[in-house]
Protein backbone atom coordinates (compact mmCIF):
# COMPACT_ATOMS: atom_id res chain seq x y z
CA UNK A 1 0.00 0.00 0.00
CA UNK A 2 1.35 3.38 -0.98
CA UNK A 3 1.57 6.39 1.29
CA UNK A 4 -0.41 8.58 -1.08
CA UNK A 5 -3.49 6.51 -1.73
CA UNK A 6 -5.74 9.57 -1.79
CA UNK A 7 -3.65 11.40 -4.38
CA UNK A 8 -3.51 8.52 -6.82
CA UNK A 9 -7.18 7.61 -6.47
CA UNK A 10 -9.03 10.89 -6.79
CA UNK A 11 -12.40 9.16 -7.22
CA UNK A 12 -14.67 7.78 -4.54
CA UNK A 13 -11.77 6.35 -2.56
CA UNK A 14 -9.98 9.68 -2.57
CA UNK A 15 -13.05 11.49 -1.31
CA UNK A 16 -13.57 8.84 1.37
CA UNK A 17 -9.98 9.15 2.53
CA UNK A 18 -10.35 12.92 2.76
CA UNK A 19 -13.02 12.65 5.48
CA UNK A 20 -11.42 12.70 8.95
CA UNK A 21 -11.40 9.23 10.48
CA UNK A 22 -13.18 10.27 13.68
CA UNK A 23 -16.14 11.53 11.64
CA UNK A 24 -16.36 8.25 9.78
CA UNK A 25 -16.13 6.28 13.02
CA UNK A 26 -18.77 8.45 14.69
CA UNK A 27 -21.07 8.02 11.71
CA UNK A 28 -20.50 4.27 11.87
CA UNK A 29 -21.36 4.29 15.57
CA UNK A 30 -24.61 6.24 15.15
CA UNK A 31 -25.68 4.35 12.05
CA UNK A 32 -24.88 1.06 13.77
CA UNK A 33 -26.99 2.05 16.78
CA UNK A 34 -29.94 2.92 14.53
CA UNK A 35 -29.63 -0.25 12.48
CA UNK A 36 -29.33 -2.34 15.66
CA UNK A 37 -32.41 -0.81 17.27
CA UNK A 38 -34.47 -1.00 14.07
CA UNK A 39 -33.56 -4.56 13.09
CA UNK A 40 -33.12 -6.04 16.57
CA UNK A 41 -31.46 -9.46 16.77
CA UNK A 42 -31.39 -9.64 12.95
CA UNK A 43 -28.62 -7.01 13.10
CA UNK A 44 -26.40 -9.78 14.42
CA UNK A 45 -25.97 -10.72 10.75
CA UNK A 46 -23.52 -7.80 10.54
CA UNK A 47 -21.35 -9.20 13.30
CA UNK A 48 -18.85 -10.91 10.95
CA UNK A 49 -17.79 -7.50 9.60
CA UNK A 50 -17.10 -6.37 13.17
CA UNK A 51 -15.35 -9.65 13.92
CA UNK A 52 -13.15 -9.19 10.86
CA UNK A 53 -12.06 -5.77 12.09
CA UNK A 54 -11.38 -7.14 15.57
CA UNK A 55 -9.42 -10.03 14.07
CA UNK A 56 -7.27 -7.56 12.13
CA UNK A 57 -6.63 -5.53 15.21
CA UNK A 58 -5.89 -8.62 17.34
CA UNK A 59 -3.36 -9.63 14.72
CA UNK A 60 -1.44 -6.47 15.63
CA UNK A 61 -1.47 -6.81 19.42
CA UNK A 62 1.47 -9.13 20.07
CA UNK A 63 3.84 -7.69 17.44
CA UNK A 64 2.91 -4.12 18.35
CA UNK A 65 3.26 -4.54 22.11
CA UNK A 66 6.49 -6.48 21.75
CA UNK A 67 8.22 -4.33 19.17
CA UNK A 68 7.10 -0.97 20.53
CA UNK A 69 8.07 -1.83 24.09
CA UNK A 70 11.50 -3.09 23.06
CA UNK A 71 11.97 0.14 21.08
CA UNK A 72 10.52 2.19 23.94
CA UNK A 73 13.17 0.76 26.26
CA UNK A 74 16.07 0.90 23.79
CA UNK A 75 15.24 4.50 22.92
CA UNK A 76 15.97 5.34 26.54
CA UNK A 77 19.62 4.45 26.57
CA UNK A 78 20.13 6.53 29.66
CA UNK A 79 19.22 4.24 32.58
CA UNK A 80 18.35 7.30 34.67
CA UNK A 81 15.77 8.39 32.10
CA UNK A 82 14.38 4.88 31.88
CA UNK A 83 13.98 4.79 35.65
CA UNK A 84 12.41 8.26 35.75
CA UNK A 85 9.87 7.53 33.03
CA UNK A 86 9.09 4.14 34.55
CA UNK A 87 8.51 5.54 38.03
CA UNK A 88 6.39 8.45 36.77
CA UNK A 89 4.31 6.15 34.61
CA UNK A 90 3.64 3.57 37.30
CA UNK A 91 2.95 6.27 39.93
CA UNK A 92 0.44 8.05 37.68
CA UNK A 93 -1.20 4.76 36.77
CA UNK A 94 -1.63 3.75 40.41
CA UNK A 95 -2.87 7.12 41.64
CA UNK A 96 -5.43 7.59 38.86
CA UNK A 97 -6.67 4.02 39.36
CA UNK A 98 -7.16 4.46 43.11
CA UNK A 99 -9.02 7.74 42.50
CA UNK A 100 -11.22 5.97 39.94
CA UNK A 101 -12.28 3.32 42.46
CA UNK A 102 -13.00 6.01 45.05
CA UNK A 103 -15.26 7.76 42.52
CA UNK A 104 -16.96 4.43 41.81
CA UNK A 105 -17.53 3.80 45.52
CA UNK A 106 -18.83 7.35 46.08
CA UNK A 107 -21.26 7.08 43.18
CA UNK A 108 -22.37 3.63 44.28
CA UNK A 109 -23.13 4.97 47.74
CA UNK A 110 -24.95 8.08 46.55
CA UNK A 111 -27.07 6.31 43.92
CA UNK A 112 -27.91 3.32 46.14
CA UNK A 113 -28.52 1.28 42.99
CA UNK A 114 -29.12 -2.09 44.62
CA UNK A 115 -32.52 -1.21 46.04
CA UNK A 116 -35.25 -2.85 44.02
CA UNK A 117 -33.09 -5.08 41.85
CA UNK A 118 -33.87 -8.69 42.60
CA UNK A 119 -32.06 -11.89 41.78
CA UNK A 120 -34.67 -12.75 39.17
CA UNK A 121 -33.02 -10.35 36.75
CA UNK A 122 -29.82 -12.33 36.96
CA UNK A 123 -28.60 -14.31 34.02
CA UNK A 124 -27.68 -17.84 34.90
CA UNK A 125 -23.98 -17.46 34.38
CA UNK A 126 -21.68 -19.39 36.65
CA UNK A 127 -18.88 -17.05 37.76
CA UNK A 128 -15.40 -18.21 36.89
CA UNK A 129 -12.86 -18.40 39.66
CA UNK A 130 -10.38 -15.53 39.89
CA UNK A 131 -6.70 -16.33 40.46
CA UNK A 132 -5.03 -15.60 43.79
CA UNK A 133 -2.73 -12.56 44.02
CA UNK A 134 0.43 -14.71 44.36
CA UNK A 135 -0.56 -16.66 41.25
CA UNK A 136 -1.12 -13.42 39.40
CA UNK A 137 2.41 -12.22 40.20
CA UNK A 138 4.04 -15.54 39.37
CA UNK A 139 2.18 -15.68 36.09
CA UNK A 140 4.09 -12.58 34.95
CA UNK A 141 7.25 -14.55 34.26
CA UNK A 142 7.24 -16.14 30.81
CA UNK A 143 8.85 -19.56 31.08
CA UNK A 144 8.62 -19.69 27.31
CA UNK A 145 8.44 -16.28 25.58
CA UNK A 146 7.41 -17.81 22.26
CA UNK A 147 4.49 -19.54 23.96
CA UNK A 148 3.56 -16.25 25.65
CA UNK A 149 3.40 -14.67 22.21
CA UNK A 150 1.54 -17.49 20.52
CA UNK A 151 -1.08 -17.63 23.25
CA UNK A 152 -1.37 -13.83 23.41
CA UNK A 153 -0.29 -13.57 27.05
CA UNK A 154 0.32 -9.84 26.90
CA UNK A 155 1.59 -9.35 30.46
CA UNK A 156 4.30 -11.94 29.88
CA UNK A 157 5.15 -10.41 26.52
CA UNK A 158 5.55 -7.05 28.28
CA UNK A 159 7.92 -8.51 30.87
CA UNK A 160 9.98 -10.21 28.16
CA UNK A 161 10.07 -7.09 25.96
CA UNK A 162 11.25 -4.85 28.81
CA UNK A 163 14.00 -7.32 29.80
CA UNK A 164 15.08 -7.78 26.18
CA UNK A 165 15.18 -4.00 25.71
CA UNK A 166 17.34 -3.63 28.83
CA UNK A 167 19.63 -6.40 27.62
CA UNK A 168 20.04 -4.70 24.24
CA UNK A 169 20.97 -1.47 26.03
CA UNK A 170 23.48 -3.31 28.21
CA UNK A 171 25.07 -4.98 25.18
CA UNK A 172 26.34 -1.64 23.87
CA UNK A 173 27.94 -1.82 20.42
CA UNK A 174 27.39 -5.55 20.09
CA UNK A 175 23.64 -5.03 20.35
CA UNK A 176 23.53 -2.19 17.82
CA UNK A 177 22.34 -4.34 14.89
CA UNK A 178 19.48 -5.78 16.93
CA UNK A 179 18.49 -2.29 18.09
CA UNK A 180 18.39 -0.98 14.51
CA UNK A 181 16.49 -4.06 13.41
CA UNK A 182 13.79 -3.39 16.00
CA UNK A 183 13.58 0.29 15.01
CA UNK A 184 13.00 -0.69 11.41
CA UNK A 185 10.51 -3.39 12.38
CA UNK A 186 8.60 -0.83 14.45
CA UNK A 187 8.14 1.42 11.39
CA UNK A 188 6.80 -1.51 9.40
CA UNK A 189 4.38 -2.50 12.17
CA UNK A 190 3.13 1.11 12.41
CA UNK A 191 2.41 1.02 8.69
CA UNK A 192 0.56 -2.26 9.07
CA UNK A 193 -1.41 -0.62 11.86
CA UNK A 194 -2.43 2.22 9.54
CA UNK A 195 -3.78 -0.30 7.05
CA UNK A 196 -5.96 -2.01 9.66
CA UNK A 197 -7.17 1.31 11.12
CA UNK A 198 -8.47 2.29 7.70
CA UNK A 199 -11.22 -0.30 8.19
CA UNK A 200 -12.29 1.04 11.60
CA UNK A 201 -15.50 2.85 10.50
CA UNK A 202 -16.92 -0.34 8.99
CA UNK A 203 -15.97 -2.46 11.99
CA UNK A 204 -17.41 0.06 14.44
CA UNK A 205 -20.67 0.24 12.50
CA UNK A 206 -21.10 -3.53 12.53
CA UNK A 207 -20.17 -3.94 16.20
CA UNK A 208 -22.55 -1.20 17.29
CA UNK A 209 -25.42 -2.66 15.23
CA UNK A 210 -24.81 -6.06 16.77
CA UNK A 211 -24.63 -4.73 20.35
CA UNK A 212 -27.76 -2.57 20.05
CA UNK A 213 -29.62 -5.33 18.19
CA UNK A 214 -28.74 -7.98 20.75
CA UNK A 215 -29.34 -6.04 23.96
CA UNK A 216 -32.07 -3.65 22.86
CA UNK A 217 -33.26 -0.93 25.22
CA UNK A 218 -35.77 -2.85 27.36
CA UNK A 219 -33.32 -5.33 28.76
CA UNK A 220 -31.16 -2.48 29.98
CA UNK A 221 -33.76 -0.76 32.12
CA UNK A 222 -33.71 -2.93 35.30
CA UNK A 223 -30.03 -2.37 35.75
CA UNK A 224 -30.10 1.15 34.39
CA UNK A 225 -28.79 2.69 37.58
CA UNK A 226 -25.62 0.61 37.49
CA UNK A 227 -25.12 1.67 33.92
CA UNK A 228 -25.75 5.31 34.85
CA UNK A 229 -23.29 5.09 37.76
CA UNK A 230 -20.52 3.58 35.62
CA UNK A 231 -21.06 6.00 32.73
CA UNK A 232 -21.32 9.07 34.97
CA UNK A 233 -18.25 7.94 36.92
CA UNK A 234 -16.23 7.45 33.74
CA UNK A 235 -17.25 10.85 32.40
CA UNK A 236 -16.47 12.60 35.71
CA UNK A 237 -13.12 10.86 35.96
CA UNK A 238 -12.18 11.76 32.39
CA UNK A 239 -13.16 15.39 32.61
CA UNK A 240 -12.16 16.26 36.16
CA UNK A 241 -9.20 14.00 36.91
CA UNK A 242 -7.68 13.76 33.41
CA UNK A 243 -8.81 17.20 32.33
CA UNK A 244 -7.64 18.69 35.63
CA UNK A 245 -4.24 16.97 35.44
CA UNK A 246 -3.66 18.15 31.88
CA UNK A 247 -4.79 21.65 32.74
CA UNK A 248 -2.45 21.70 35.75
CA UNK A 249 0.36 20.69 33.41
CA UNK A 250 -0.42 23.68 31.20
CA UNK A 251 -2.10 21.70 28.42
CA UNK A 252 -5.51 22.38 26.89
CA UNK A 253 -7.66 19.37 27.88
CA UNK A 254 -10.04 19.84 24.95
CA UNK A 255 -7.25 19.37 22.44
CA UNK A 256 -6.36 16.17 24.24
CA UNK A 257 -9.89 14.80 24.05
CA UNK A 258 -10.11 15.79 20.39
CA UNK A 259 -6.81 14.08 19.66
CA UNK A 260 -7.80 10.75 21.18
CA UNK A 261 -11.36 10.68 19.82
CA UNK A 262 -10.68 7.85 17.37
CA UNK A 263 -9.09 5.68 20.04
CA UNK A 264 -12.06 6.35 22.35
CA UNK A 265 -14.54 5.36 19.65
CA UNK A 266 -12.66 2.16 18.85
CA UNK A 267 -12.37 1.32 22.56
CA UNK A 268 -16.09 1.93 23.03
CA UNK A 269 -17.08 -0.48 20.29
CA UNK A 270 -14.38 -3.15 20.56
CA UNK A 271 -14.31 -3.20 24.39
CA UNK A 272 -10.64 -4.11 24.25
CA UNK A 273 -7.80 -1.89 25.45
CA UNK A 274 -5.22 -4.15 23.86
CA UNK A 275 -7.20 -4.18 20.66
CA UNK A 276 -7.37 -0.39 20.68
CA UNK A 277 -3.62 -0.04 21.25
CA UNK A 278 -2.76 0.40 17.57
CA UNK A 279 -5.21 3.29 17.35
CA UNK A 280 -4.24 4.91 20.64
CA UNK A 281 -0.55 4.73 19.72
CA UNK A 282 -1.28 6.40 16.42
CA UNK A 283 -3.44 9.09 18.07
CA UNK A 284 -0.79 9.82 20.71
CA UNK A 285 2.01 10.09 18.17
CA UNK A 286 0.27 11.85 15.34
CA UNK A 287 -2.44 13.99 16.96
CA UNK A 288 -0.98 14.73 20.37
CA UNK A 289 2.71 14.89 19.50
CA UNK A 290 3.88 12.34 22.09
CA UNK A 291 7.36 11.08 21.15
CA UNK A 292 7.78 7.53 19.84
CA UNK A 293 9.98 6.72 22.79
CA UNK A 294 7.41 7.71 25.45
CA UNK A 295 4.33 6.41 23.61
CA UNK A 296 6.14 3.15 22.81
CA UNK A 297 6.83 2.57 26.47
CA UNK A 298 3.84 4.06 28.29
CA UNK A 299 0.95 2.94 26.08
CA UNK A 300 1.61 -0.80 25.64
CA UNK A 301 2.23 -1.01 29.38
CA UNK A 302 -0.93 0.97 30.12
CA UNK A 303 -3.11 -1.09 27.79
CA UNK A 304 -2.48 -4.04 30.05
CA UNK A 305 -1.89 -2.67 33.52
CA UNK A 306 -3.69 0.68 33.71
CA UNK A 307 -7.45 0.27 33.86
CA UNK A 308 -9.15 3.18 35.57
CA UNK A 309 -12.49 2.34 33.99
CA UNK A 310 -12.32 -1.27 35.13
CA UNK A 311 -11.37 -0.18 38.65
CA UNK A 312 -14.21 2.34 38.80
CA UNK A 313 -16.61 -0.31 37.54
CA UNK A 314 -15.46 -2.73 40.20
CA UNK A 315 -16.11 -0.12 42.89
CA UNK A 316 -19.63 0.53 41.60
CA UNK A 317 -20.42 -3.16 41.17
CA UNK A 318 -19.09 -4.19 44.58
CA UNK A 319 -21.41 -1.66 46.22
CA UNK A 320 -24.28 -2.67 43.99
CA UNK A 321 -23.87 -6.32 44.95
CA UNK A 322 -23.63 -5.37 48.64
CA UNK A 323 -26.86 -3.38 48.31
CA UNK A 324 -28.70 -6.12 46.41
CA UNK A 325 -27.80 -8.71 49.04
CA UNK A 326 -28.21 -6.33 51.96
CA UNK A 327 -24.59 -6.70 53.14
CA UNK A 328 -23.25 -3.87 55.27
CA UNK A 329 -19.71 -2.81 54.35
CA UNK A 330 -17.36 -1.35 57.00
CA UNK A 331 -14.74 1.36 56.46
CA UNK A 332 -12.11 -1.40 56.35
CA UNK A 333 -14.09 -3.13 53.61
CA UNK A 334 -13.91 0.04 51.54
CA UNK A 335 -10.12 0.12 51.90
CA UNK A 336 -9.95 -3.57 50.97
CA UNK A 337 -12.05 -2.90 47.88
CA UNK A 338 -9.73 -0.06 46.82
CA UNK A 339 -6.65 -2.27 47.23
CA UNK A 340 -8.02 -5.38 45.59
CA UNK A 341 -9.71 -3.48 42.78
CA UNK A 342 -6.40 -1.74 42.01
CA UNK A 343 -4.62 -5.09 41.86
CA UNK A 344 -7.48 -6.71 39.99
CA UNK A 345 -7.48 -3.95 37.39
CA UNK A 346 -3.72 -4.40 36.92
CA UNK A 347 -4.23 -8.13 36.46
CA UNK A 348 -7.13 -7.66 34.07
CA UNK A 349 -6.26 -8.43 30.46
CA UNK A 350 -7.22 -5.72 27.99
CA UNK A 351 -9.78 -7.93 26.31
CA UNK A 352 -13.59 -7.88 26.30
CA UNK A 353 -15.23 -8.98 29.53
CA UNK A 354 -12.02 -9.59 31.46
CA UNK A 355 -13.08 -7.14 34.17
CA UNK A 356 -16.14 -9.24 34.97
CA UNK A 357 -13.99 -12.23 35.87
CA UNK A 358 -11.73 -10.10 38.04
CA UNK A 359 -14.79 -8.70 39.78
CA UNK A 360 -15.07 -12.01 41.58
CA UNK A 361 -11.67 -11.31 43.18
CA UNK A 362 -12.97 -8.01 44.56
CA UNK A 363 -16.25 -9.51 45.77
CA UNK A 364 -14.46 -12.39 47.48
CA UNK A 365 -12.06 -10.02 49.25
CA UNK A 366 -14.92 -8.50 51.26
CA UNK A 367 -17.04 -11.64 51.50
CA UNK A 368 -19.71 -10.61 49.00
CA UNK A 369 -21.65 -13.38 47.22
CA UNK A 370 -20.25 -14.35 43.82
CA UNK A 371 -23.78 -14.55 42.47
CA UNK A 372 -23.26 -10.81 42.07
CA UNK A 373 -21.05 -11.55 39.08
CA UNK A 374 -23.95 -13.31 37.43
CA UNK A 375 -26.24 -10.33 37.95
CA UNK A 376 -23.76 -7.99 36.35
CA UNK A 377 -23.07 -10.41 33.48
CA UNK A 378 -26.28 -9.52 31.69
CA UNK A 379 -25.28 -5.92 31.21
CA UNK A 380 -21.54 -6.34 31.23
CA UNK A 381 -21.02 -5.54 27.58
CA UNK A 382 -22.64 -2.12 28.03
CA UNK A 383 -20.47 -1.44 31.08
CA UNK A 384 -17.41 -2.77 29.28
CA UNK A 385 -17.87 -0.17 26.55
CA UNK A 386 -17.60 2.71 29.03
CA UNK A 387 -14.84 1.27 31.19
CA UNK A 388 -12.66 0.29 28.23
CA UNK A 389 -12.99 3.81 26.84
CA UNK A 390 -11.82 5.29 30.15
CA UNK A 391 -9.01 2.73 30.32
CA UNK A 392 -7.72 3.80 26.93
CA UNK A 393 -8.16 7.54 27.53
CA UNK A 394 -6.32 7.17 30.86
CA UNK A 395 -3.32 5.53 29.20
CA UNK A 396 -3.07 8.34 26.68
CA UNK A 397 -3.41 10.98 29.39
CA UNK A 398 -0.49 9.48 31.32
CA UNK A 399 1.57 9.23 28.11
CA UNK A 400 0.88 12.91 27.42
CA UNK A 401 1.83 14.01 30.94
CA UNK A 402 4.99 11.89 31.02
CA UNK A 403 6.01 13.18 27.57
CA UNK A 404 5.39 16.77 28.67
CA UNK A 405 7.49 16.34 31.79
CA UNK A 406 10.33 14.78 29.78
CA UNK A 407 10.27 17.54 27.14
CA UNK A 408 9.08 14.92 24.63
CA UNK A 409 5.71 16.38 23.79
CA UNK A 410 5.68 18.23 20.47
CA UNK A 411 3.63 21.24 21.53
CA UNK A 412 3.33 22.39 17.94
CA UNK A 413 1.48 19.19 17.09
CA UNK A 414 -0.53 19.13 20.34
CA UNK A 415 -1.71 22.71 20.04
CA UNK A 416 -2.53 22.44 16.36
CA UNK A 417 -5.43 20.15 17.31
CA UNK A 418 -4.77 18.22 14.12
CA UNK A 419 -6.30 14.91 13.23
CA UNK A 420 -4.22 12.84 10.87
CA UNK A 421 -4.82 9.37 12.24
CA UNK A 422 -6.96 8.34 9.28
CA UNK A 423 -4.22 8.99 6.78
CA UNK A 424 -2.27 5.95 5.75
CA UNK A 425 1.23 7.26 5.94
Which position among 291, 295, 365, 391 is part of the footprint of ligand ASP (CB under 6 A)?
Answer: 391
Does 395 contact ligand ASP by CB under 6 A? no
Does 271 contact ligand ASP by CB under 6 A? yes
In the complex with ligand ASP, the residue whose CB is nearer, 251 or 397, is 397
Site for ligand ASP in 292-331 (CB under 6 A): 307, 310
Which of 383, 296, 367, 344 shows the shortest CA–CA distance to 97? 344
Does 377 contact ligand ASP by CB under 6 A? no
Which position among 169, 273, 287, 360 is part of the footprint of ligand ASP (CB under 6 A)?
Answer: 273
Which of 225, 234, 227 shows the shortest CA–CA distance to 100? 234
Does 350 contact ligand ASP by CB under 6 A? yes
Instruction: List, in order, residues 6 or more apart from 269 with CB less than 8 Å away.
Output: 29, 32, 50, 203, 204, 207, 208, 211, 385
353 three-state secondary structure? coil
Smallest gap from Cβ 418 to ligand ASP, in A, equals 27
Smallest gap from Cβ 10 to ligand ASP, in A, equals 39
Decide: residue 134, CB within 10 A, 0-12 exposed, 13-18 middle, 19+ buried: exposed
Does 355 contact ligand ASP by CB under 6 A? yes
How many residues touch ligand ASP under the rule CB under 6 A: the total is 16
Does 384 contact ligand ASP by CB under 6 A? yes
Does 353 contact ligand ASP by CB under 6 A? yes
Stretch that binds ligand ASP, among 77-85, 257-265, 332-340, 383-391 (CB under 6 A): 383-391
| 3-state secondary structure string across 69-82 | HHHHHHCCCCHHHH
Does 153 contact ligand ASP by CB under 6 A? no
Q: What is the CA radius of gyration of the chain?
A: 21
Does 402 contact ligand ASP by CB under 6 A? no
Stretch that binds ligand ASP, among 93-101, 148-156, 224-232, 384-392 (CB under 6 A): 384-392
In the complex with ligand ASP, the residue whose CB is nearer, 251 or 307, is 307
Distance CA 139, CA 147 (A): 13
In the complex with ligand ASP, the residue whose CB is nearer, 72 or 347, is 347
Chain-centroid distance, C-alpha 192:
20
Does 60 contact ligand ASP by CB under 6 A? no
Chain-centroid distance, C-alpha 372:
24
Instruction: List, in order, residues 6 or more apart from 386 with CB less than 8 Å away.
Output: 230, 231, 234, 268, 309, 313
Distance CA 158, CA 344 (A): 18
Contact assessment for residue 345 and residue 95, using Cβ atoms and an 8 Å cutoff: no
Does 131 contact ligand ASP by CB under 6 A? no
Q: In the complex, which residues of this chain contact ligand ASP (CB under 6 A)?
A: 271-273, 307, 310, 348, 350-355, 384, 387-388, 391
Amino acid sequence: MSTDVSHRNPGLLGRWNAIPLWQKILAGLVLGLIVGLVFGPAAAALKPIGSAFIAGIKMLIVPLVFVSLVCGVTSMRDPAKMGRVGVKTIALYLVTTAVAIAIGLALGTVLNMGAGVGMESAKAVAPKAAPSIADMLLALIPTNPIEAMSTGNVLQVIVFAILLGLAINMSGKAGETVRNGFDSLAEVIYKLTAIVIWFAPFGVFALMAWTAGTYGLDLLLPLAMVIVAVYVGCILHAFFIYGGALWAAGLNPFLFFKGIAEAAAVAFTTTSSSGTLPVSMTCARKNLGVSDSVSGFVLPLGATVNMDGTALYQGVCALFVAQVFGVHLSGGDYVTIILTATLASIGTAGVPGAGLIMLSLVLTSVGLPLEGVAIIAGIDRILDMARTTLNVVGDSMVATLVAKSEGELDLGVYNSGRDVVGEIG
